[in-house]
Amino acid sequence: MFIDIKEINKIYMDQDQKPNTVLKSINLSIRKGEFVSILGPSGCGKSTLLSMIAGLTDATSGDIFVDSKKVVKPGKDRGMVFQEAALFPWLNVSENVMFPLRKEMSKEEGLERARHFLAMVQLSNYANLYPHELSGGMQQRVSIARSLAMDPAVLLMDEPFGALDEQTRSRLHGQLEKIWTDTKKTIVFVTHSISESIKLSDRIIVMGTRPGTVLTDIKVDIPRPREEHKTEMAVLEEEIMELLKKEIDKVVDEELAYEASS
């Protein structure tokens, strides 16, 4: 498999210096070119897992392999997009996209590459503007273009549209799907939105919490464009909602029991 996650465990120390098992025995395999969402309630360890694939966080035990190479640190084969675009305010749009490439190619080549990827996210006309002159959705598209410009095999996206309004989010879903089809990247997409995961993914990894485990691995067989199959989407949404409700109830019950005993 292209991404292999093997027996990953992660223990953090909590504020009382007690061990907190955040991820327990996570095993996952992702095919090249697959669009996989990781869905789960807040705190189940989605971002921690993504950050481990990126090489930004170490596992307590277990290994992750990308294209048969063990992940030990961040690499150019894995691009990351966060919820906040984190652009450099003193650089214009093109310069932001070119920034990670500055040591690898001439300015002209960098500009050409920026132009190509800005066209892909439909921002060709905004290349000379500065981040503060863009909307949140546009900033996020610049951040996607910046990741794509490095030509990573894997795009790791941590709630990339979480801070955007519903309409912008919906438009960006369409753009992301097109980018994925055109570039054939492998995408691992973290979200807590059930509908977003159904709309975009080939597979949805539903995580449970305390500790974070894989509850189910759902293959989404609904044909694309998914908007044309609203009934099937609603049925799957209901099914996943039921699964997650149990997880959320579990956390609330635990918290109430803790409150009552203290």
Ligand X SMILES: Nc1ncnc2c1ncn2[C@@H]1O[C@H](COP(=O)(O)OP(=O)(O)OP(=O)(O)O)[C@@H](O)[C@H]1O
- The least distance separating ligand X from the CB of residue 259, rounded to whole angstroms, comes to 18
Residue 12 lies near ligand X (rule: CB under 6 A):
yes
For ligand X, the closer CB: 50 or 98: 50
Residue 47 lies near ligand X (rule: CB under 6 A):
yes
Residue 44 lies near ligand X (rule: CB under 6 A):
yes
Chain positions 171 to 230 lying near ligand X, rule: CB under 6 A, are 192
Contact residue for ligand X among 3, 22, 142, 233 (CB under 6 A): 22
- The least distance separating ligand X from the CB of residue 48, rounded to whole angstroms, comes to 3
For ligand X, the closer CB: 73 or 132: 73
Which residues sit opposite 37 in a β-bridge?
189, 204
Residue 9 lies near ligand X (rule: CB under 6 A):
no
Name the residue among 51, 43, 28, 80 with its Cα closest to residue 218.
28
- The least distance separating ligand X from the CB of residue 18, rounded to whole angstroms, comes to 11
Residues found near ligand X in the complex (CB under 6 A)? 12, 22, 40, 42-48, 192
